[in-house]
Structure 1
Amino acid sequence: MKNILLVCLSLLSLNAFSQNSNSKKVSNLETITLGGGCYWCVEAVYENLDGVKSVVSGFSGGNVTNPTYEQVCTGTTGHAEVVQITYDKNVTDINEIFKVFFTVHDPTTLNRQGADVGTQYRSVIFYKNDEQRKAAQSIIAELNKAKVYDNPIVTKIQAFTKFYKAEDYHQNYYANNKNQPYCKMVIQPKIEKFEKVFKTKLKKKS
């Protein structure tokens, strides 16, 4: 009986350890939703940042349920093109996520990025907790104080409510369409800038 009891206790301990380990793995992952113009551009950059587990293109901040890309393009749904980033906090952190964000898009142009014009292309951070909100407020204040840009930052900081995944053909768009003119002229320069500035933070090529 004593030996059986010890075996049972050992199994319970192993099970608890396994559950704790799984819990720790889950707790290390966090998501943030960012809008920095065309989501094809932002997605392509973050897919190369070490610690990022997934990047999904979609829509947030609007008033239409399950909007289509065509609906959002009209600028009448209130949604922004965004990417939902899941990252491992043991490898990267929210401050680094934001540093990349403010490096690869222009946060000073209201409702536009380059030739992409409309509220769907607005610069916006949809925070999911106080840590993200405070980090966003802090980095914007620091960038404005340091006058990193010629004009004030217009990036909106809003509480996250809902994310709608874009159609499948929008996912991994750059990787699947590298030879298209938009990818070569607009997305590729952003990736090159990111790789130059964050060269020690790139994912290792498999």
Structure 2
Amino acid sequence: MESLMNFFNSNGNDLLMKTWEHLYISIAALILGIIVAIPLGILLARLPKIAGFVMGVAGVIQTFPSLAILAFFIPLLGIGKIPAIFALFLYSVLPILRNTYTGVKGVDEKLLEAGRGMGMTSLERIFNVEIPLAIPVIMAGVRLSSVYLIGWATLASFIGGGGLGDFIFDGLNLFQTDLVIAGAVPVTILALITDFLLGRLEYRSTPKGIRKQNEMA
């Protein structure tokens, strides 16, 4: 206990800074993933002929080693947070894209026909029918992606991106267990908190009718 207090006394400010950097990198990559993947998933639901190809490409990118993706961006963007964010963004796309596509494709065609009968435009059907009904599936992809990103963001340390990975890899290189724990434990806590908060957001954004159906199931 005393050694733990000594560690926080000497590294407390640094730990807070690294935690903020880690969260910043993860959130920035997740936001980029949401901006790209959700509209693309909605579009692919209308273009089934190319949906399989695009999903396949996203799936292949997902299999690339994380360090290889990070190294790929170094000649293009240098080192630091920017290449780390873009590398993590690539990893965030597939879960969100796949769930958005699945959720939108799963919307009952009769509801869409009812929307057309009411005079809704295509955009109105997307925002008033498709997205509200698909939101539980979409948010499940966002939650999965966020947890992945918080874990993978530790690798940003390799290209000077900062974050809690600095503590983990410094601890491994110096054989100091306290540094490894100081990096690993906050990463785990961040992942759990983020998943919980997004879970609450998913619940709040799900239409009440769907909520009741899920609770009764």
TM-score by length of 1: 0.25
* Greater helix share, structure number: 2
* Greater strand share, structure number: 1
TM-score by length of 2: 0.24
